[in-house]
């Protein structure tokens, strides 16, 4: 096995694949990275059995030569040392060679490294996704959906199904939902899916966040393939495969209140700044509790009180307040997370009383919502 490649090209693929490799795995060979040279390019593979990433470097692309002098073969190298070596090579030109005894030589400039590899035939075969159930969407839109929902997954393993993001597709509407039972984030967009439908597809939070880091903004679209227990995200140069969580995701639509007693229209940036300041004295408290009360048609009072530290009160002029007067307490962290994730200039907050969940939405009717449970203090 042999090939010559540019250090920057190889390093980019190595960094992608490293996201799937863990030092804590029951299968020792999975602590390594599989490198396979084929006549038409190089494939790097990493897996921790939950996530598997394959990165493909074509020998030629867009009239550029990426890999030369290819002699096909494959090997597994320890992922702890190989990336560091590639990162620190003195020149951009890298010669890679492996012999029949799994000894690898890496040359660059006047530096030469010799590493002991392992037989690639011992590396587990990645699951093959047998399905025609696929649809395509822009990468930028997928990354936005992940950012606007995945932060709300549960960090507690007591209900494992809530540690993932639920994905459903019906009538060409794709929906992402995440909840930890104290808050909920949901976003839906139209996609062209030729009538494909599925529900209860729950991707582990860790997987979907790694996917977000791995997807390259420069590529246009991603193909998504769904089976009973796996989901595959496929771009021109990358396959990202994740297992799905077992179990039934709770029916969250019934959590959305269908009546509204108070509505606040406000500038997102102003709300974030004011709640952030109020939370400065609430950080010692377990929930970072901040209180909000309405006054008139345009004024909010946002306050927090920590007996040992002190208290803070600030008035904020908002665009409009409609409906009943309101006093409510909530976790400042949850509200700040939600406002930052929505990422729009103006928001509308619907309240149905001091002890009922409230909903934050963009005023432009974009199909995204953040639901938050209040905290009992009043």
Domain assignment present for 141: yes
Let me know the angle formed at the C-alpha of 349 by 344 and 353, rounded to the nearest 5 degrees: 165
Query: Do 247 and 269 fall within a single domain?
Result: no
Whole-number Å distance between alpha carbons of 82 and 103:
13
Confidence at residue 273, expressed as pLDDT on a 0 to 100 scale: 97
Query: Do 234 and 309 fall within a single domain?
Result: no
Phi and psi (nearest 5°) for 20? -100, 0
Domain that holds residue 290: 256-372
For range 207-226, the mean pLDDT: 90
> Mind listing the pLDDT tens digit for each residue in 137-189?
999 999 999 999 999 999 988 899 999 999 999 999 999 999 999 999 999 99
Query: Do 249 and 260 fall within a single domain?
Result: no
Please identify, among 122, 146, 179, the residue that sits at the C-terminal boundary of a domain.
Answer: 122
Classified as helix, coil or strand, 93 is strand
Whole-number Å distance between alpha carbons of 287 and 41:
52
CATH number reported for the structural domain that contains residue 277 in this entry:
3.70.10.10
For the chain, what is the domain count? 3
Query: Do 334 and 302 fall within a single domain?
Result: yes
Domain assignment present for 128: no
Q: Which of 80, 13, 62 is nearest to 42 (CA)?
A: 13
Query: Do 248 and 260 fall within a single domain?
Result: no
Element (H, E) at 348: strand 346-351
Domain assignment present for 378: no
Query: Do 138 and 232 fall within a single domain?
Result: yes
Q: Are 27 and 124 in contact (CB under 8 A)?
A: yes
Domain assignment present for 9: yes
Query: Do 50 and 113 fall within a single domain?
Result: yes
More confident residue, 45 or 133: 45
> Mind listing the pLDDT tens digit for each residue in 273-291?
999 999 988 766 566 899 9
| Residue 131, pLDDT above cutoff 80 | no
Query: Do 45 and 154 fall within a single domain?
Result: no
Q: Are 32 and 77 in contact (CB under 8 A)?
A: yes
Classified as helix, coil or strand, 32 is strand
Say what the pTM is. Answer: 0.91
| Residue 20, pLDDT above cutoff 60 | yes
Per the structure block, which two tokens stand in for 29?
């060979």
Query: Do 165 and 91 fall within a single domain?
Result: no
Please identify, among 91, 122, 153, the residue that sits at the C-terminal boundary of a domain.
Answer: 122
Please identify, among 226, 253, 280, the residue that sits at the C-terminal boundary of a domain.
Answer: 253
Query: Do 208 and 152 fall within a single domain?
Result: yes
CATH number reported for the structural domain that contains residue 73 in this entry:
3.10.150.10
Query: Do 49 and 15 fall within a single domain?
Result: yes
Query: Do 17 and 116 fall within a single domain?
Result: yes
Domain assignment present for 129: no
Estimate the share of the chain in helix, then strand, then coil, as percent rounded to the nearest 5. Answer: 20, 45, 35
Domain assignment present for 102: yes
Domain assignment present for 112: yes
Domain assignment present for 203: yes
> Mind listing the pLDDT tens digit for each residue in 47-91?
998 999 999 999 998 888 899 999 999 999 999 899 999 999 999
Phi and psi (nearest 5°) for 211? -60, -45
Q: Which of 190, 82, 213, 177 is nearest to 136 (CA)?
A: 190
Q: Are 74 and 37 in contact (CB under 8 A)?
A: yes
Confidence at residue 149, expressed as pLDDT on a 0 to 100 scale: 97
Q: Are 253 and 199 in contact (CB under 8 A)?
A: no
Per the structure block, which two tokens stand in for 124?
């587990």
How far from 253 is each of 55, 197, 208, CA to CA, in Å? 38, 18, 22
How far from 7 is each of 64, 182, 213, 247, 323, CA to CA, in Å? 15, 47, 21, 44, 63
Position 204 confidence tier, pLDDT thresholds 50, 70, 90: very high
């Amino acid at each position: 096995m042999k090939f010559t490649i540019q250090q920057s090209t190889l390093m980019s693929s190595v960094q992608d694949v490293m996201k799937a490799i863990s030092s804590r795995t029951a299968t020792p060979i999975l602590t390594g990275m599989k490198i396979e040279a084929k006549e038409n390019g190089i494939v790097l593979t990493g897996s921790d059995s939950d996530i598997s990433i394959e990165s493909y470097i074509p020998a030629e692309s867009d009239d550029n030569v990426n890999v030369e002098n290819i002699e096909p073969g494959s090997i597994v190298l320890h992922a702890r040392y190989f990336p560091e070596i590639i990162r620190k090579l003195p020149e951009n030109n890298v010669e890679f060679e492996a012999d029949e005894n799994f000894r690898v030589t890496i040359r660059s400039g006047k530096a030469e490294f010799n590493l002991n590899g392992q037989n690639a035939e011992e590396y587990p075969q990645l699951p093959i996704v047998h399905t025609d159930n696929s649809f395509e969407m822009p990468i930028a839109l997928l990354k936005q959906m992940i950012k606007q929902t995945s932060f709300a997954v549960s960090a507690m393993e007591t209900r494992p199904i809530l540690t993932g993001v639920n994905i459903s597709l019906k009538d060409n509407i794709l929906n992402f939902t995440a909840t930890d039972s104290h808050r909920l984030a949901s976003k839906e967009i139209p996609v062209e899916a030729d009538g494909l439908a599925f529900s209860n597809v729950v991707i582990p939070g860790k997987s979907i966040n790694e996917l977000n880091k791995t997807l390259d903004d420069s590529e246009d679209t991603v193909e998504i393939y769904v089976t009973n227990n796996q989901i595959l995200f496929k771009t021109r140069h990358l396959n990202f495969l994740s297992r799905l969580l077992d179990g039934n995701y709770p029916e969250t639509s019934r959590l959305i209140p269908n009546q509204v007693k108070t509505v606040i229209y406000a500038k997102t940036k102003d709300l974030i700044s004011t709640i952030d300041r109020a939370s400065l004295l609430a950080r010692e408290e377990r929930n970072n509790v901040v209180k909000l009360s309405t006054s008139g048609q345009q004024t909010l009072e946002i306050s927090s009180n920590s007996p040992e530290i002190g208290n803070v009160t600030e008035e904020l002029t908002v665009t409009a307040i409609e409906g009943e007067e309101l006093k409510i307490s909530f976790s400042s962290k949850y509200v700040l997370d939600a406002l930052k994730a929505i990422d729009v200039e103006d928001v509308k907050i619907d309240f149905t009383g001091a002890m009922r969940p409230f909903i934050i939405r963009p005023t432009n009717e974009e199909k995204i919502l953040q639901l938050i449970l209040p905290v009992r203090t009043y």
